[in-house]
């Protein structure tokens, strides 16, 4: 399973990259706003330079012609940029055009299996089902991941399932069990993935015993 970090913060990306487990980055307009990134292209370029893997950069146009123009410009930023396109009618048409041109896309804001099926048919590189936002409205985000994986497997679609809107480690575990290709998550969730209280208490005990033993043998 690939791990992406869901942020526009260069510091957070550096920290996750330094852990040695980072495969890519996803951003969105809200994350760019949070980061205060005024020059969109320059900021995306800086992120692309930091990581080897794919970096999703979202377009903000909502009509086909403008979406295609904006997407082509974004695609020029770096070799590892992936154009993030919202799952609306003009977005699907845009993905089809970009796919025919060899431009890679991440189809975002997916909340149903039918949306995911259409995105795959249009040739999206990634589909981003939003788990947490479905859970927020008392729906089942994980069920959506399982259904999309099953549908894509059944028909051999190459579109990768990118589990998004992840809020906690169990979303990652269940996405992995369901066969999602990628999990994108905030830095704090990445850090939580390696924590276990028995690891911490076990290490403390080992080190204490070792110290006592060293004193016993006069080291
Ligand atoms: C995915 O690409 C989105 O940027 C992100 O996962 C949305 O997460 P949120 O629902 O926590 O905003």
Has residue 62 got a pLDDT over 90? yes
Atom of ligand 1 nearest to the CA of 28: 4
Q: Which residues are catalytic?
A: 84
Check the CA dihedral 26-125-67-133 and report its sign: negative
Query: Tens digits of per-residue pLDDT, 69-124?
Result: 999 999 999 999 999 999 999 999 999 999 999 999 999 999 999 999 999 999 99
Distance 130 CA to ligand 1 centre (A): 7
Q: Which DSSP letter does residue 130 get?
A: B
Query: Tens digits of per-residue pLDDT, 141-169?
Result: 999 999 999 999 999 999 999 999 999 99
Distance 164 CA to ligand 1 centre (A): 6
Q: Which residue's alpha carbon is at the smallest distance from atom 6 of ligand 1?
A: 165
219: pLDDT confidence band, cut at 50, 70 and 90? confident
Q: What are the DSSP E strand ranges found in 51-149?
A: 54-58, 81-86, 105-110, 126-129
Pocket residues: Cβ below 6 A from ligand 1? 6, 26, 28, 108, 128, 130, 132-133, 164-165, 184
Residue corresponding to tokens 């906690």: 168
Percentage of the chain exceeding pLDDT 70: 100
**pTM over the 0.85 mark:** yes
Q: Which residue's alpha carbon is at the smallest distance from atom 8 of ligand 1?
A: 165
For 161, the token pair is: 């399932």
What domains does the chain contain, in order, with CATH numbers?
2-216 (3.20.20.70)
Check the CA dihedral 33-39-41-46 and report its sign: negative
Atom of ligand 1 nearest to the CA of 26: 2
């Amino acid at each position: 399973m690939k791990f992406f970090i869901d942020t526009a913060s260069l510091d957070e990306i550096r920290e996750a990259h330094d852990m040695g487990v980072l495969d890519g980055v996803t951003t969105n307009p809200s994350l760019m706003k949070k980061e205060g990134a005024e020059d969109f292209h320059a900021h995306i370029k800086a992120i692309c330079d930091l990581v080897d893997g794919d970096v999703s950069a979202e377009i903000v146009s909502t009509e086909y012609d403008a979406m295609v123009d904006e997407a082509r410009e974004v695609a020029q930023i770096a070799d590892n940029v992936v154009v993030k396109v919202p799952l609306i009618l003009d977005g699907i048409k845009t993905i089809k055009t970009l796919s025919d041109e060899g431009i890679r896309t991440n189809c975002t804001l997916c909340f149903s299996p039918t949306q995911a099926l259409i995105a795959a048919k249009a040739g999206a590189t990634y589909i981003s089902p939003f788990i947490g936002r479905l859970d927020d409205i008392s729906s089942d985000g994980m069920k959506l991941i399982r259904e999309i994986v099953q549908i894509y497997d059944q028909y051999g679609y190459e579109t990768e399932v990118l589990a998004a809107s992840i809020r906690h480690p169990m979303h990652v575990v269940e996405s992995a069990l369901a066969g999602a290709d990628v999990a994108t998550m905030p830095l704090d969730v990445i850090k939580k993935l390696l924590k276990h209280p028995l690891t911490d208490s076990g290490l403390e005990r080992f080190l204490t015993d070792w110290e006592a033993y060293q004193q016993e043998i006069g080291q």
